[in-house]
Structure 1
Amino acid sequence: MDTAPRPAAEIALPAGWGAALVRGARCRCPRCGEAPLFRQWLKPVDTCAHCRQDWSVQQADDFPAYIGIFVVGHLLAPVIIFMIATLGLSAWVTLAVMLPVAVVMLIAMLQPTKGAVIAFLWWHGVGAFVQERPIATPESTGDV
């Protein structure tokens, strides 16, 4: 079986880094958008089943968790302030309610965030990734 990545001409590469991030956040291969990016909850596949991109070289490390903590903290901070200042709930009641909510939110967004980080690294050619861009055709550029 051939393990070399399929040429970019055979793959529908994303048009921009935003499209690549959306593919990654949907837990699909950022390069082709066809195959799953993860084989387990946070463990990426070694090689894409469709385009044969090597994902074993990704180095997302702890960055997805940092992004998740940042986003969840900023989303819940106004809720916590509202619960204490407006509703007059004690700090203990607020903690008892918001801690499980924060944990569930963080767990729910961790895999999509990791997929988006991997897509970002791939799109920009960070680390061992080779930077690829869609091939411009006369139809896509308007030069017919």
Structure 2
Amino acid sequence: MGYQVKTLEERPLGQAMWRGTLCKCPNCGEGKMFRAYLKVNDACPECGEELHHHRADDGPPYIAIMIVGHILIFIMLHLELVMQVNPLVYLYTLVPLAVVMPLAMLPSIKGFLVGLQWANRMHGFDPDHRDPALPDPR
């Protein structure tokens, strides 16, 4: 009796996450991951890899807020220890940074998480374990 062992193609985790961080397809690294600011393409325009299975949800904003919060708190603490700072300086500099920095980070963080999910075959990225509640793409 011979058992047939199905081997899955290798999906390098680091490479997929890096490609996602660059907002490229985690499979080929050529196609754009996003069709709009944070709207992931249903499939890669270059290689056809399905990308609609991702479940990034609230992860990217949470990570962006954590990163930016730590950076801004460090800056505030450093300024307070080094010099006397007028509170208006914080208002005019750090508040705009608190808005702009997370918005600039969000696409790369979301791409990173989509690449992570793709490489680990999570949430429908494994063709043998699709969500039965979703319609069959074939």
Name the TM-score class by shorter chain. Answer: 0.7 to 0.9
2:67 counterpart of 1:68 = no
Equivalent residue for 1:122?
Answer: 118
Alignment of 1:47-62 (within 5 A): 47-62=43-58
Alignment of 1:92-131 (within 5 A): 92-130=88-126
Please say if residues 84 and 91 of structure 1, whose CA atoms lie closer than 8 Å, have aligned partners that are also in contact.
no
**Amino-acid identity (%):** 35
Amino acid at match of 2:18: V
Consecutive unaligned residues in structure 1, runs of 5 or more: 1-7, 132-144
The CA deviation at 1:93 is 2.9
Residues 24-64 of structure 1 show CA distances to partners (whole Å, capped at 9, x for unaligned) of: 01010001111100000100111111221111121100101
Amino acid at match of 2:89: V
Aligned partner (choices 62, 85, 88) of residue 89 of structure 1: 85
Measure, in 2, the Cα distance between the counterparts of 1:94 and 1:49: 44
Equivalent residue for 2:29?
Answer: 33
Cα RMSD after superposing both structures: 1.9
Equivalent residue for 1:45?
Answer: 41
Q: How many pairs were matched up?
A: 120
> TM-score, normalised to structure 1's length?
0.75
Three-state SS of the structure 2 residue aligned to 1:39 is coil
Measure, in 2, the Cα distance between the counterparts of 1:38 and 1:18: 20
